[in-house]
Amino acid sequence: MRLANKVAIITGGGSGIGKASAHLFAREGAKVAVAERTVSTGEETVSTIRSRGSEAIFVRTDVTIASEVENLMEVVLANFGRIDILFNNAGIIKIAPIDEIDELMWDQIFAVNVKSIFLTTKYAIPAMKRARKGVIINNASTGAMRPRMFFSAYAASKGAVITLTKALALELAPFDIRVNCVVPGFTETPMIDVLDEKQKKAVADTIPLRRRAARPEDTAYAALYLASDEASALTGASILVDGGRCI
């Protein structure tokens, strides 16, 4: 097993890529903490993992609120004693012309997609620094390098995720804490339900490999690699999981 006895926190673990990663990491031997703002989906991920004989806890967390993120780390340390892997996966999207984006919408996108990574990292690294080891994985998007029409706020936030990943990789390297990101393209999760079927087909047609959306598991496997010791020489890296869209 590639994550035997590791403790992994996965934000947004109730749905899509986060849920697929929670199941995969648990299958690979990790004890998983699902940090999710939606209680029903977070609990469902955890109960399925437990029913398969692995260890998991649900910690209801809004990753934009500092006190809730601080609580998340305390609960994980109280239950599992360590934090080996932090997968900053939670994210939201809003698609709108720039003059229809209001200030609240802009701030919400940046709070969930970027500020959350600052908060989780800030509160997780004391334990990782004590252990002088750790792995942080951030979920970016091909929107960062190939924005689609009306993606300005989302694309800018994901560009920030990639830059933040590099800055943190540099800063935390002396503690043997690796910081990398996965960069999914169009992926079949509830997030893409902001598009109707015709729009989904048009987007899928832009993907060279099989002209279809990726599965959430495709990015989960990339995250698994980054989380594992097999990636011990990688930091500051971005792994595209986009079916060739950014070629």
Ligand X SMILES: NC(=O)c1ccc[n+]([C@@H]2O[C@H](COP(=O)([O-])OP(=O)(O)OC[C@H]3O[C@@H](n4cnc5c(N)ncnc54)[C@H](O)[C@@H]3O)[C@@H](O)[C@H]2O)c1
Please identify every residue annotated as catalytic.
154
176: phi > 0 → left, psi -120 to 50 → alpha, else beta; which? left
CB 80 to ligand X: min, Å: 19
Under rule CB under 6 A, residue 134 binds ligand X: no
Under rule CB under 6 A, residue 96 binds ligand X: no
In the shown chain, the binding pattern of residues 202 to 241 toward ligand X, with x for contact by CB under 6 A and - for none, equals ----------------------------------------
Residue number with CB closer to ligand X (36 or 84)? 36
Under rule CB under 6 A, residue 152 binds ligand X: no
CB 111 to ligand X: min, Å: 7
Q: Tell me, letter by letter, the H, E, C secondary structure of the chain.
A: CCCCCCEEEEECCCCHHHHHHHHHHHHCCCEEEEEECCHHHHHHHHHHHHHCCCCEEEEECCCCCHHHHHHHHHHHHHHHCCCCEEEECCCCCCCCCHHHCCHHHHHHHHHHHHHHHHHHHHHHHHHHHHHCCEEEEEECCHHHCCCCCCCHHHHHHHHHHHHHHHHHHHHHHHHCEEEEEEEECCECCHHHHHCCHHHHHHHHCCCCCCCCCECHHHHHHHHHHHHCHHHCCCCCCEEEECCCCCC
CB 103 to ligand X: min, Å: 18
Residue number with CB closer to ligand X (18 or 134)? 18
Under rule CB under 6 A, residue 36 binds ligand X: yes
Q: How far apart are the first and last CA of the chain?
A: 33
Distance, in Å, from the CA atom of 179 to the CA atom of 149, rounded to the nearest integer, reads 30
CB 235 to ligand X: min, Å: 20
Among the listed residues 244, 181, 246, the one whose alpha carbon sits nearest the alpha carbon of residue 214: 244
Under rule CB under 6 A, residue 112 binds ligand X: yes
Residue number with CB closer to ligand X (64 or 180)? 64
| Interface stretch with ligand X, choices 11-19, 51-59, 117-125, 221-229 (CB under 6 A) | 11-19
Give the one residue of 6, 31, 37, 115 binding ligand X; rule: CB under 6 A. Answer: 37
CB 210 to ligand X: min, Å: 15
| Interface stretch with ligand X, choices 46-54, 94-102, 144-152, 179-187 (CB under 6 A) | 179-187
Phi, psi of 163 (to 5 degrees): -70, -40
Under rule CB under 6 A, residue 243 binds ligand X: no
Residue number with CB closer to ligand X (90 or 177)? 90
Under rule CB under 6 A, residue 45 binds ligand X: no
Binding site for ligand X (CB under 6 A): 11-12, 14-18, 36-38, 41, 61-64, 89-92, 112, 139, 141, 184, 186-187, 189-192
